[in-house]
Structure 1
Amino acid sequence: MRNIVEALLKLSGGSAIATTIDDISREANTIRHVVLENLKALEERGVLTVINDNLVIIHDRISLALHGIRHGLDIEKVARYLDWRDFEQFSALCFEANEYDVLRNVVFTYNNRRYEIDIVAFKKPRIVCIDCKHWGLRKGKRSQLKKASIVHKERVMAFGEVIKHNPRKYGLSSWRYAFLYPIIVTLHEEPISMCEGLPIVPIFKLNSFLQSLDAWSDSISYLHVRIHEDDPPWLKHMK
C-alpha cells in the first residue's frame, strides 16, 4: 500500500488532481490488479475516485498522506509531496466542521511591518490563529519549532492590536473582547505537545483538539483583547 500511496502523492503534485492506474503501477512498481485493489479500498474512504478502472481522481491529499504514514511511509518523504495549500485546505475544513468562520492567508500591517497568518478562525469569543508547518519532528526540527513558536506568538500579538483598533474589518464590531489562541499545525504522528506555551497539533488530531479546546485553555498561551477599550492586549503564558 505505501508504494501506491507514494506514487499517488507524487503523480498528483502541483495542479494535477488526476492520474491513471497504469501510471501508478509503473511509479509504484506494482502490478495493475494489486494497484486497482488498493485504490478501491482508498475509494471507500472517500480519498479518491476510480473511473472505468483507469482514471483516478484524488480528492484529499492530506488524508492520503496520513494513510501512507500509518502504513509505514517516512514522514519527511511524505512532507516533500505536500504544500501549504494541502494543509490549509484540511485545517479550514476542520474549523468549518466545528462552526468557526474561517479566513485564509490573512495579511495585515502593524507598526509598519507586514504579517501573514495562514488561517484565522472565529467563533465568539475565540479567535484561533494557525501557522501550518508541513514538516515532522525528526532530529533537528525541535530548534526550528521553537523559533516558529516565538515568531507565531509575536504575529498573533500584532494581530491582537489590529483587531482592537479596527474590529469592523474582521466582523468583530459586536464583540466586547476576544481570546486569541496561537497554534502550530504540523505533520507528525505524535501526541499533541507544547513549545513556548503554544500547542503543536498533528494535523490528523486537529479536529479532536478543537472539540476539546476548553480542556486545553488553562494550559496554553492566549491573548486577551478588550475590543473598543484602551487597555492593551495581554498574553497569558503557560503555567
Structure 2
Amino acid sequence: MALPLAAVAAALLGTREDCVTVDELAARLFLRPGLVRAALEKLAEAGGLELDSDRACVVERIELALAAVRLGVPETVVARGLDWRMFEEYAARALSEAGFEARRGLRLHGRGGLELDVLGLDRAGGLAVAIDCKHWSPRISTPSRLRAAAAQHRARVEKLAAHWRRLGLPGGKWRIVPALLVLRESAPRLVEGVAVVPASRLRGFIEELYVLAEEPAIHVVKLKA
C-alpha cells in the first residue's frame, strides 16, 4: 500500500499543534499507525520534522512543506497549510543566513504608497533584492496572473528606488533585483524582467544573486549615490 504522505503532511501543516503522537494522528486520519509512522519517517528524513518513538514534532512548517513537495505531495495540498507570514519569515531568514541584511514589511503611506514584503541588502557589494511573496495555490498561479504580478512588482521596485531614502534605507550606489517568491516548482524562471523563485530554490537563488544581477533579461533597478 502506498504511504499516505499527502494526508499526513496536510494534517501536520493544517494544525496549530507543534507535536502529535503517532496514534493520535492515525486516529484523526482513520489510518493504521504503522502506515502513519512510515509516512512520518519519510517526512522526517526530508526535513522540517522530528520523530521519536511515538511522537512527531514540526520544527519548521515551511521546511516541512518544501520537504513534502519534494516527496511528491501535490503543491495544492501543501499550499493549504501555509500562509503569507511563513513565506516572509522564510525569505528573511534565508537572506540573513546568506549574510544579507533582511528587512520585512517596508511601508510608505499616503497617496501612491508602497508596500514591500522583504528586502535583502548586501552593503559591501551594493546589491539588494526586493522580494514579493506570493502565497498562491498552484491552481490559481496562471500565466496571466503571474505576468500581472511581475509587472506590478517591477513598478513597485521602481517606486522603491524613488523613495529609497524616505524609507530610511542606506545611501550609496545600489542595484536592486526584483523577485517573486512562489510555491510552484514549475514556475517560469523569469517573467516581465522579474525573477520567479520557487521557495525550494530560494537559497540557491540568493547564492547566485550577483551573477543573476548581470543578466540583461533581469530588470535591475540602479540607484545612484
Range into which the TM-score falls when normalised by the shorter chain:
0.7 to 0.9
Aligned to 1:128: 129
1:197 aligns to 2:196 (yes or no): no
Aligned pairs for 1:70-81 within 5 A: 70-81=70-81
TM-superposed deviation, 1:80: 1.8
How many residues align? The count is 220
Alignment of 1:77-156 (within 5 A): 77-109=77-109, 112-124=111-123, 125-135=126-136, 141-156=142-157
C-alpha change, 1:198 and 1:44, in structure 2 (3 Å) is: same
Alpha-carbon deviation of 1:69? 2.1
Normalised to the residue count of structure 2, the TM-score between the two structures is: 0.84
- C-alpha RMSD over aligned residues: 2.5
Whichever residue aligns with residue 103 of structure 1, its letter is R
> How does the TM-score come out when normalised to structure 1?
0.80
Gap change, CA 1:142 and 1:49, over 3 Å in 2 = same
Q: Distance in 2 between matches of 1:106 and 1:9?
A: 32
Q: Which amino acid aligns with 1:120?
A: L
Matches within 5 A, 1:1-239: 3-13=4-14, 15-50=16-51, 53-54=54-55, 56-109=56-109, 112-124=111-123, 125-135=126-136, 141-163=142-164, 165-166=165-166, 169-170=168-169, 172=170, 175-190=171-186, 193-217=189-213, 218=215, 219-227=217-225
Contact 2:43 2:67 in 1 (8 A): no
CA distance in structure 2 between the partners assigned to 1:146 and 1:66 by the alignment: 24
CA distance in 2, matches of 1:190, 1:203: 11
Structure 1's consecutive aligned runs of 4 or more residues displaced over 4 angstroms after TM superposition are 136-140
Percent of pairs with identical residues: 25
Q: 2:202, 2:208 → 1: CA distance?
A: 10
Q: Would the alpha carbon gap of residues 77 and 18 (structure 1) be closer, same or farther in structure 2, given more than 3 Å must change?
A: same
How many angstroms apart in 1 are the aligned matches of 2:212 and 2:122?
16
* Gap regions ≥5 residues in structure 2: none
